[in-house]
Structure 1
């Protein structure tokens, strides 16, 4: 168990915007930050971070919470893991008690896989640096590749002994479960025998964006033609190769800072670039580029520069990846290296200045690159040239931005020496074909939707729920503010009629709401709102300097999530950036007293309606004559509602 003092120190020290900034590219939006949702595929920002309140809200998925909640959602950390991650980030010493055997057994399967992978990574590093075969074979290989000791340690590179079960035997001896060794793919089990998957290979740990070890890549060092040169961990609960980029953990901050990501093919390409000084580089680890991998980069930058070696066949195969990047609305450049060179060898033989200058001068826009690659094989064949042009237009059609589309069409017309009209006509045909296909799918979906639509009645607005939620919102945002409230006191005039007479009095917002609800004996029906209400009232009564973020950090996670949703509801309108369009909405803070009064009065009117409806139902159920006393009560309630409605300036 982590001590309470450590947890309190973590919450006090951690800055939400800094932590989330390691995973999502954030941009200033007034007093807040906004960015693309890390939980869904989107092109317009709906992710909001409030440094003042130290909470975040993702309006596309509905998720939200504090800094720990983000790490638990995004990185699938347990609560203790999230605290430990933050403690490590901010150099906070962790005080904790030793876990019992029972607690260890309760660790879920996913956590066990992480623990096994982390253990394996440390074992392979130890083997590389502290054993004779590791130093003679593995370390020598890395040194030959030009990697420094600092770089080798930075990327946690290792070595697996050329023995059938050296790692497996050691792991079992240390108490790790064979089931999880097999699940991670580190151990292969066959007919009561087990042996190491990565026997005799140098090891490249594959890390998540937060630095957790997900799997491994292993390179064989012998000339065994039957064995694969590179071998990756199989798919598991924690490792999905189509959703992982090698080097993303070390590159994420540089990618966001430089607003560009270099995409290469291999592990050593990433490491050599990083060592040379270009740190915003990742690799798809030898697999074909996927949409999930592109979305991972899209969270950090809109710009990708794809780096290819001089192999023409490989370049043509990689053109499909460029189309995927364009579909995500990202900007793509392509850079190729001289024949016989790849990113690894070129970075190794050049200084940082030379490498940076080469990339700057040779990075072409995707259309120029695609045209040059395809045109070379088609320039003397009119039919192939036509196919090449259609291929390029097909790529342009995938770009969601219409302005970019038009500019690229003009560029294609210039490079391929063809009229813009023909290209726009071809583009229109392709777009129309896609629209027809999409329309067919929509019609099919619409038929299914129509069936559901007729089956489901329209859901009515729950007025009391909305009013209770509004009261919680006011308490969270303005509970500790002092305001001048105009109270309404019922008085009898000269004609014996009741009138509401205004009286001004100063009070704290939370005191005003509490007293008004007490006076009318109004109770919250929603159990979550009721729990939050009394938590806030108690906290404000006990501590005048109470801060909402401290409540979020200590309250039940379900209630904390509800509080976050309420607090960030107003912030979503900041995503629209109204001021940019010269629209300046009035701040709620200028009308807090009015907001409180109107909400309480509206709730009173609603409860009066409920009371009158209850009288009506009771009378109908009893099938008796209408009691004179009931009529008098209904009349009094109706009169009171009329007075409240006048105050609210509402017609009845």
Structure 2
């Protein structure tokens, strides 16, 4: 929740700015009844599907599900955080923001140190770039190598590629001329202390350099590709070690350059390394992003989720690449992101395939990518058929994969396909599948699945209470909340019940998360069909009753399972107790349904 001073500033900004006027600065809008409509900038929209309501102060796209208030629009459109959107809109509205809270001495020191490290990285990057363009022999060899890979001088400048000569101390000499200490270079991992303890040497010597940008464009680290063959103990590719400004599990190469296109298409193409990124990006596939030649992480998935709802994995076509793609696909499944795997034929990597067949052919392969769960099922069955893994291993592996799928529709499809391929009963397979955690990965579902089918009654309750908040007392909100399973809907219900937000716009502003604003805008826009309060109250009570019945059914099934397990036990008193509990639940169910026991 925001501070009162921040909340006041947000309210002032909204009072002074029309959301229609702000959005019209980016998108052409046309008046349509009480709304304005236009082409949605967050997906390839050919038929105006974005609606903007000036009175309520929010927008919603009925195709891709994007929605929110004026802050949510700017955050999504410009791929910026709430703080940046607040500053930009405050300046536009002429609202003076409250002074930030005084920071602790340690926080100020940490921030100053980070600023200094980013400054050093920028200076060092310029030094590396100058080396690549120098007339010395090694620099010419580096340029020849890049040219042989199809990297032009224009691309070198665009991505600020560089080179470190085959020297032990070139960077340290540069640092001494620019008031950069050896200690600072060592903390950033740019130099390494000699094992003998006497002096340091350049970490990236004799390597082509790829500066790594964090999301706002600042250089946080470097990647290096050795010039020539990698010798003993010398990896072909090397990244900066972790530092105060670099954590490889939270950084994706090229995202700073491609985030706008990824956001526009709502889809990212994921590759493994720097060269794959550069070649795809410069050949027109501009929604591409790369890991740093390292394993894809859940942090990477959450970072991508800020910009898109679909990821196509385009790793090397060899066995190792396929294994890595499957692991990345499982992580994306676990984070609720729709994903597919593109298999590059003949064991080629994307860069090689691009050179042989061109961008159009690679684009077609990407378009034909296979849904990740289908890919994993097919790949597992192939390995089973080739006797690389047993039937039991295959089924347990697929059950674990299905356990990671959060979307109930996609999960059911995967169960059906896996059991069909292996010829086993769904009940047997499901006994191995773990139930998803309903509170995990809030807001990670794609717009079409913002509210799963099982939460439909919860959605209807929130929708009605947003339209008719006066029904709250009749609804006994504290009793309703305990039946909610959907984490997002539960949060909205709780805030509505607290009664702090007398206007929808202020409720919307209480959420900084784009996903929450998206869900809330969908609920509000869809509530326009609720006209009669009396009828809505009846629907509300029916939905509450359905939630109560759902909970009783769940408890009843639990008791039945315990009774079955207890039958072989000598403790008959516990069995009688469970039977009595079962009867009580049946009586409660009948009472709720309005029948006589």
Q: What is the TM-score when the length of structure 2 is the normalising length?
A: 0.59
In our comparison, the structure showing a higher alpha carbon Rg is 1
Paired position in structure 2 for 1:132:
136
Change (3 A) 1:168 1:143: same
Paired position in structure 2 for 1:577:
523
1:300-311 matches, within 5 Å, as 300-311=307-318
Paired position in structure 1 for 2:391:
385
Flag as ranges the 4+ runs of structure 1 deviating above 6 A: 15-21, 24-27, 44-47, 53-57, 570-573
Q: Residue 205 in 1 paired to residue 205 in 2?
A: no
Change (3 A) 1:283 1:324: same
Counterpart Cα distance in 2 of 1:369 and 1:195: 46
Do the aligned partners of 2:221 and 2:239 also contact (CA within 8 Å) in 1?
yes
Counterpart Cα distance in 2 of 1:132 and 1:345: 29
Counterpart Cα distance in 2 of 1:239 and 1:344: 27
Change (3 A) 1:48 1:579: closer
Change (3 A) 1:33 1:228: farther
1:141-180 matches, within 5 Å, as 141-180=145-184
Q: 3-state SS of the aligned residue for 1:332?
A: strand
| Equivalent residue for 2:401, pick from 395, 401, 410 | 395
Q: 3-state SS of the aligned residue for 1:349?
A: helix
Counterpart Cα distance in 2 of 1:211 and 1:134: 29
Instruction: Give the Å deviation of 1:291.
Output: 0.6
Counterpart Cα distance in 2 of 1:571 and 1:261: 22
Counterpart Cα distance in 2 of 1:220 and 1:349: 24
Instruction: Give the Å deviation of 1:252.
Output: 0.9
The number of residues matched between the two structures is: 406
Q: Over aligned residue pairs, what C-alpha RMSD do you find?
A: 4.4
Counterpart Cα distance in 2 of 1:215 and 1:585: 57
Q: 3-state SS of the aligned residue for 2:270?
A: strand
Counterpart Cα distance in 1 of 2:110 and 2:122: 19
Do the aligned partners of 1:273 and 1:279 also contact (CA within 8 Å) in 2?
yes
Paired position in structure 1 for 2:327:
320
Instruction: Give the Å deviation of 1:322.
Output: 1.6
Change (3 A) 1:292 1:69: farther
Do the aligned partners of 1:64 and 1:70 also contact (CA within 8 Å) in 2?
no
| Equivalent residue for 1:50, pick from 60, 70, 77 | 70
Change (3 A) 1:162 1:18: farther
Paired position in structure 2 for 1:269:
276
Instruction: Give the Å deviation of 1:352.
Output: 2.4
Counterpart Cα distance in 2 of 1:215 and 1:25: 30
Between 117-126 and 221-230, the greater mean CA deviation after superposition: 221-230
| Equivalent residue for 1:67, pick from 85, 104, 107 | 85
Counterpart Cα distance in 1 of 2:519 and 2:404: 30
Q: Residue 427 in 1 paired to residue 430 in 2?
A: yes
Instruction: Give the Å deviation of 1:66.
Output: 5.6
1:280-429 matches, within 5 Å, as 280-361=287-368, 363-379=369-385, 381=387, 384-414=390-420, 416-419=421-424, 422-429=425-432
Q: Which runs of 5+ in 2 are unaligned?
A: 1-16, 28-40, 44-48, 90-96, 98-108, 439-497, 533-597
Counterpart Cα distance in 2 of 1:424 and 1:341: 40
Q: 3-state SS of the aligned residue for 1:219?
A: strand
Q: 3-state SS of the aligned residue for 1:263?
A: strand
Paired position in structure 1 for 2:541:
none
Instruction: Give the Å deviation of 1:258.
Output: 2.2
Change (3 A) 1:337 1:383: closer
Change (3 A) 1:382 1:567: closer
Q: C-alpha deviations, 1:229-287, integer Å up to 9, x for none?
A: 11110101110000001111111112122222111111111111112211111111121
Counterpart Cα distance in 2 of 1:267 and 1:389: 36
Instruction: Give the Å deviation of 1:70.
Output: 8.1
1:623-638 matches, within 5 Å, as none
Counterpart Cα distance in 2 of 1:433 and 1:355: 36
Instruction: Give the Å deviation of 1:69.
Output: 4.6
| Equivalent residue for 2:227, pick from 218, 221, 224 | 221
Change (3 A) 1:408 1:281: same
Q: Which runs of 5+ in 1 are unaligned?
A: 1-11, 36-43, 58-62, 72-78, 80-104, 436-465, 478-563, 587-652
Do the aligned partners of 1:310 and 1:336 also contact (CA within 8 Å) in 2?
yes
Q: 3-state SS of the aligned residue for 1:336?
A: coil
Change (3 A) 1:173 1:366: same
Change (3 A) 1:70 1:291: farther
Q: 3-state SS of the aligned residue for 2:150?
A: coil
